[in-house]
Structure 1
Amino acid sequence: MMMSMQPFTRKPLSIISKVHQSMDVGNKIFGIYKEQEIEGTLIQEQDGILTIKLASGYNVLLPKDELDVKSVKPIVSTKEKVHPIKQDHNLPKVSILHTGGTIASKVDYATGAVHTQFTPEELLALFPEASTIANLTSRLVRNMWSQDIRFAHYNIMAHAVFEEQKKGATGVIVTHGTDTLHYSAAALSFALKGITIPVVLVGAQRSSDRGSSDAATNVFGALRFITTVQAPGVFVAMHETSADTSIAILDGLHVRKNHASRRNAFIPVNGTIVARVTDTVEIVDKDRLARWKANTDENWSVKPFNDRLRIGIWKTHTQSFADELTPYHSFDGLIIEGTGLGHIPMDTIDEFTTEHEQIFAKVKELAQRIPVAITTQTVFGRINLNVYSPQRLLQEIGVLGNNCDMPTEVAFIKLAWLLSNYTTDEAKKLYSQDMLGEISQRSPLEDWH
């Protein structure tokens, strides 16, 4: 939480206290600002502005040249010594691949800032009980927030999983930031097509040093699922409810982050959870596990993404304009997130809707150049372009996606993966075909939130 005390104006540098010269991030400082006493921890200094965390927990932003610093105390390190964890080599071998995110972050109480700079050894130290479930190995693949992930990082993760299986791992956990975890789950599902071991992506909505952290329970849930069920495929392990009572194992192709901060932010889309982990492991959807097993290939290899591809997502809305589509002429593919069963604004109804003819013309032009597919903003449900005449026109001009129930993120990933591994014509034919279970065979009424 940030709090600015009051507007300020710059003053001459001559009033800067000499103490400023020895201030470092993490220092405890005491000073006077406009006759007010300021005492707290220096979090950062940028462009002449000091960010100071007060004892109340609030941050204040103060101009450095207006703070009369009276005392500075040196940094007190809060970093704990990491001790080796004894491993039981008779337990199943599970590899943890660390990519960053909240699950491997904690607050540095010297500065009040959140950091992700942990070695794999430190990650294991955060979850020492995990060594009682499996023989663990851990290595750093990347250390980044998930919003920074690109196609190239999917390839890095996929090759790392491949290497771990070659080394004898019976399962792999990928720790990952939650913001784009569902994108990565879908990407790994396709890139690891044919995989014969379980791969479980795990995130956390609360950092590991907080009492409300979901990090450890999510990791334990993933470990129990891997070691108990030993089912091949790509899955996600996250809280089923806001309480610590159960961990949901979700299919990597039917999962979505649906809340910004709740611990049970991840939900199944157009399906149910695969399994529920409590003190035991309950299989909920045997069909999903069977479909993953049916797609295994003992000679599987990574089928990577072309990291130069440009795939767009255009979201229709009630004031859409045709020129919004112009930039996609330089793209390799486009996902249109339409409304309902797969609608876009394309009919001229009155003098206010003449723009819609131009939108349809743009979509038609794009569909002749690149693969264009449609999904629905409702998230849940299936595209049906056979119900209304305007939608039948979309099929006629080549828009893909009829009868698909992939959420937009999965559609985006699938189209990118197809264009990375097949010709454009092949990608168009395969897009609406179920390859790994990404398109549900049926849509049960009870399976939506």
Structure 2
Amino acid sequence: MGPEPGDTVEVQTSKEAIVGILMPQKGNSVVLKLETGYNMGIETKKVKSIKILKKGKKLGQIKAAKVTQKKSLPKISFIATGGTIGTHVDYLTGGVFMCRSPEEILATTPELGDIINIKTLSPFTVASEDMSVENWQELAKLVAKELNSGADGVILTHGTDYLHYTASALTFMLPDLCKPVALVGAQRSPDRGSFDGTQNLLCAAHYCKSDIAEVAVVMHGSTDDKYCFANRGVKCRKMHTSRRDAFRPINELPLARIFPDGKMEILNKSYAKRTNAKVKPDTKFEKKIAIVKSYIGSDPAIIDWYIKNGYRGLVIEASALGHVPTGESGTKVKDFDKRMSWIPYIKKAVDKGVVVVASTTCLYGRIHPFVYRNLRLAHESGMIYGEELPSDMLPETTYIKLGWVLGHTKDQQKAKEMMLTNYHNEISERSISKSFLY
């Protein structure tokens, strides 16, 4: 058998011998991945011979862990859905590819077998940016089924980019959750020395042994390998593209600091406790919703497009306390193009039955409808802020909550009441100063 992609080979030309990993052939070139990580193309006509030095593993041929059952340990269902934590080097592109099975992911962390009794499942494999509402609904039903069948907790592996969306969705779709559910990802792929998935999985396993009955994101709490944070799913966000401690709590403290050896420090005592109740998934969700961002020069006529296309709910990601352009402030308002005021468009949407909710691009802090005149104008147009308990929900959490609310009612006033109801601590009862940039 001749050389195949993935084999380590020596390519002999008339001038030199070049060693590298053979990549799939492109056109009239032999492509090698060198030890430096760079690719080199060699014209086929210049190649005198190719010698196989070492056979390589084909795509998907990764060592899988043999899952051993230890009945004395807590029973945890391990659901793999994709993401960097389930990747390996793809010789087709030189990048990483999502094709690890749950057993292959577990091979990166064999210590889990000494902590929990693992049952593996994989309903689908998808990058988080391709996750859909239907995927959320399927996961919510699967999590409920596993917990109702005797699992003591659930670990769900997921891509990190949109992980916080899924964490919020599962929180609302599992309203009477009685056991821990940990969402886990990795910022670095398993082939790298800085792979963070092993510690994240270990800490997630310890979280699932706790009495915290919440959907939580369990990821690195610092750039080193000291501990992870368990952050409430509706109060957590990815705040950096690549840092291992990218997931931070927003407007509250983490639920817990968890160490790989199992030590756990409770940082936030406001959490639901583990019970033996049954979980009833509630997966109704309205998909005709959107997040609309306001900014300098933003054209509010985009709202008309959403009205025309039958959208039932809009989250306006406004500035600071909830401002949108109005043209009603300052001393030179005559210079403001009145067509750029968002007020008439918001009012039109509300009059058409669309539920319009404010959120802030600042992420940290609350919105408030009464501090400035422009805020009062936006509030009077029908945009929801929250009067008695001004909202500090993240835009993404607001979006998920709005979809869940509109999946349960077509009544605009009822939807407003539900948006202002604090179901899962998504709205902080009080502001904690030290939670900022925690």
Establish whether TM, by shorter chain, passes 0.5. Answer: yes
Alpha-carbon distance in structure 2 between the residues aligned to 1:232 and 1:316: 37
> What TM-score, normalized to structure 2?
0.87
Distance 1:333 1:59, change over 3 A: farther
Alignment of 1:213-292 (within 5 A): 213-227=195-209, 229-278=210-259, 279=261, 280-287=263-270, 289=271, 292=272
Alpha-carbon distance in structure 1 between the residues aligned to 2:170 and 2:30: 42
> What TM-score, normalized to structure 1?
0.85
Give the counterpart of 2:336 among 353, 358, 367. 353
Distance 1:316 1:44, change over 3 A: farther
- Greater CA deviation, 154-163 or 357-366? 357-366
Alpha-carbon distance in structure 2 between the residues aligned to 1:424 and 1:417: 13
Alpha-carbon distance in structure 2 between the residues aligned to 1:385 and 1:173: 40
Q: Which runs of 5+ in 2 are unaligned?
A: none
Deviation at 1:388, TM superposition (A): 1.1
Q: Write the letter of the residue equivalent to 2:220.
A: H
Deviation at 1:109, TM superposition (A): 7.1
Deviation at 1:351, TM superposition (A): 4.8
Q: Which residue of 2 aligns with 1:17?
A: none
- CA contact 1:95–1:164 (8 Å) conserved in 2: yes
Alpha-carbon distance in structure 2 between the residues aligned to 1:385 and 1:119: 49
Q: Which runs of 5+ in 1 are unaligned?
A: 1-21
Give the counterpart of 2:282 among 269, 293, 303. 303
Deviation at 1:101, TM superposition (A): 0.6
Q: Which residue of 2 aligns with 1:19?
A: none
Q: What is the root-mean-square deviation in Å for CA atoms of aligned residues?
A: 2.8
Q: Which residue of 1 aligns with 2:418?
A: 430
Q: Which residue of 2 aligns with 1:343?
A: 323
Alpha-carbon distance in structure 1 between the residues aligned to 2:336 and 2:44: 57
- CA contact 1:100–1:145 (8 Å) conserved in 2: yes
Alpha-carbon distance in structure 1 between the residues aligned to 2:347 and 2:279: 38
Q: Write the letter of the residue equivalent to 1:433.
A: T
Distance 1:206 1:353, change over 3 A: same
- CA contact 1:41–1:110 (8 Å) conserved in 2: no
Alpha-carbon distance in structure 2 between the residues aligned to 1:421 and 1:48: 59
Paired residue total: 419
- CA contact 2:313–2:402 (8 Å) conserved in 1: yes
- CA contact 1:303–1:421 (8 Å) conserved in 2: no
Q: Write the letter of the residue equivalent to 2:351.
A: Q
- CA contact 2:178–2:278 (8 Å) conserved in 1: no
Q: Which residue of 1 aligns with 2:403?
A: 416
Q: Which residue of 2 aligns with 1:321?
A: 299
Deviation at 1:72, TM superposition (A): 4.4
Alpha-carbon distance in structure 2 between the residues aligned to 1:38 and 1:355: 67
Q: Specify the SS of the correspondent of 1:446.
A: helix
Alpha-carbon distance in structure 1 between the residues aligned to 2:207 and 2:265: 9
Q: Write the letter of the residue equivalent to 2:371.
A: V
Q: Specify the SS of the correspondent of 1:421.
A: coil
Alignment of 1:105-124 (within 5 A): 105-107=87-89, 112-124=94-106
Alignment of 1:69-218 (within 5 A): 69-72=47-50, 76-77=56-57, 79-82=61-64, 84-107=66-89, 112-218=94-200
Q: Write the letter of the residue equivalent to 1:347.
A: G
- CA contact 1:371–1:424 (8 Å) conserved in 2: no
Q: Specify the SS of the correspondent of 2:342.
A: helix
Distance 1:111 1:341, change over 3 A: closer
Alpha-carbon distance in structure 1 between the residues aligned to 2:257 and 2:368: 32
Distance 1:303 1:72, change over 3 A: farther
Alpha-carbon distance in structure 2 between the residues aligned to 1:393 and 1:180: 33
Deviation at 1:48, TM superposition (A): 8.4
Distance 1:46 1:352, change over 3 A: farther
Deviation at 1:428, TM superposition (A): 2.2
1:443 paired with 2:431, answer yes
